[in-house]
Amino acid sequence: MTASEVLSGGLRAIDTMTAGMTKVTAGYLLDAPRPTLVECGPALSVAAVIDGLRELGMEPGDLAYLVLSHIHLDHAGGAGDVAAAFPHATVVVSEVGARHLVDPERLNASSRRVYGELMDEVYGDCTPIDAARVRGVADGDRLDLGGGRFLDLLYTPGHAKHHIAAFDADAGALFVGDSVGVKMPGMTAIRPATPPPDFDLVLAQRTLDRYRALEPAVVYLAHYGAVDPPREALNEAADRLRLWAETAAEAYAEHAELDHVTETLGRRFADEVDVASDDPDAGRRVALLSGYRSNAMGLVRYFEQRAEGRTAT
């Protein structure tokens, strides 16, 4: 049996079993006349998601939409396989990233450079999706889920320039991908995810402000699950992002070297992982998805681009 969990408002979380661990990346299935899956995790573990959907009674023709918060492979890598298993599903993704799912050669190649050995151990290559089945969306677009229910799509850059969020206004449920950060079992705080190549601090802060103005009833992270209560969680995410960026900026001012920034972040934020946790994967999960080196690389790159006047803000 695949692990799936009933949440409020006819929603289920399907554990994608990313990297063979529980509670790394969630897929969220919205039970509506047009059933919709938000996120599917990487290609290498997507069989768990497809099995999970089938166990929930989804026939091949049933899935209407697969919504991807962004095209990083820990979210979108399995999209081609889900599309093949559910041939009526439309893959919904930011118009900024859509073409990379139709022709994933560049996405796979750049991911291989970033992930190294993990590409073959954890992620796997994204398979191409027929262009007719990929819908690139912009801010303000909405999906008709049937029965008077809609899913509003928001363009929410910062973590990546191809990031969107999805808001189910009836349930007040906001699906934020990685734009709020990560909080998985064994973590004591919401940790920002600031990876290269296009993390942008100002855009990330604006995205958080926008979420606060929506006043969601519940906020679902991709990694992993609901953060509660939502207002406090969004405030915490903004505070932690500021703290990470300040810490990285001070370290970078001391020594403009990636190793120094990485080590400084590691010392300063080690307490975000509960060392007393009896979960053996607590440290591995966060190292995989929001590690010090990756976050340092994204922040340093942002500082350098901003100094050269090459950021969007």
- Other CB atoms closer than 10 Å to residue 223's CB: what's the count? 26
Residue 239 is which amino acid? Answer: D
Q: Is 39 in the site for Zn ion (CB under 5 A)?
A: no
Distance CA 204, CA 195 (A): 12
Q: How far apart are CB 278 and Zn ion at their closest, in Å?
A: 25
Q: Using CB atoms within 10 A of its CB, is residue 270 exposed (0-12), middle (13-18) or buried (19+)?
A: exposed
Q: Is 125 in the site for Zn ion (CB under 5 A)?
A: no
Comparing CB distances to Zn ion, the nearer of 76 and 98 is: 76
Distance CA 281, CA 175 (A): 24
Strands (DSSP E) found in 147-232: 149-155, 164-168, 173-175, 218-221, 225-227
Residues 6+ apart with CB under 8 A from 38: 27, 28, 29, 30, 67, 69, 166, 175, 220
Comparing CB distances to Zn ion, the nearer of 69 and 90 is: 69
Q: How far apart are CB 140 and Zn ion at their closest, in Å?
A: 24
Q: How far apart are CB 62 and Zn ion at their closest, in Å?
A: 26
Comparing CB distances to Zn ion, the nearer of 60 and 185 is: 185
Q: How far apart are CB 288 and Zn ion at their closest, in Å?
A: 9
Comparing CB distances to Zn ion, the nearer of 24 and 137 is: 24
Q: Which stretch binds Zn ion (CB under 5 A): 15-23, 38-46, 66-74, 131-139?
A: 66-74
Binder to Zn ion among 81, 178, 198, 281 (CB under 5 A)? Answer: 178
Q: How far apart are CB 72 and Zn ion at their closest, in Å?
A: 5
Q: How far apart are CB 41 and Zn ion at their closest, in Å?
A: 9
Q: Which stretch binds Zn ion (CB under 5 A): 71-79, 105-113, 119-127, 137-145?
A: 71-79
Residues in the interface with Zn ion (CB under 5 A) total 2
Distance CA 311, CA 253 (A): 19
Q: Which stretch binds Zn ion (CB under 5 A): 10-18, 67-75, 118-126, 127-135?
A: 67-75
Query: Is residue 67 within 8 Å of residue 74, measured between CB atoms?
Result: no
Q: How far apart are CB 134 and Zn ion at their closest, in Å?
A: 20
Q: Scan residues 213-252 and list those touching Zn ion (CB under 5 A).
A: none
Distance CA 201, CA 302 (A): 7
Residue in the block written with tokens 């929603």: 11
DSSP state, 187?
A: B
Q: Which stretch binds Zn ion (CB under 5 A): 142-150, 171-179, 200-208, 273-281?
A: 171-179
Q: Is 74 in the site for Zn ion (CB under 5 A)?
A: yes
Comparing CB distances to Zn ion, the nearer of 125 and 252 is: 125
Distance CA 238, CA 235 (A): 5
Residues that bind Zn ion (CB under 5 A): 74, 178
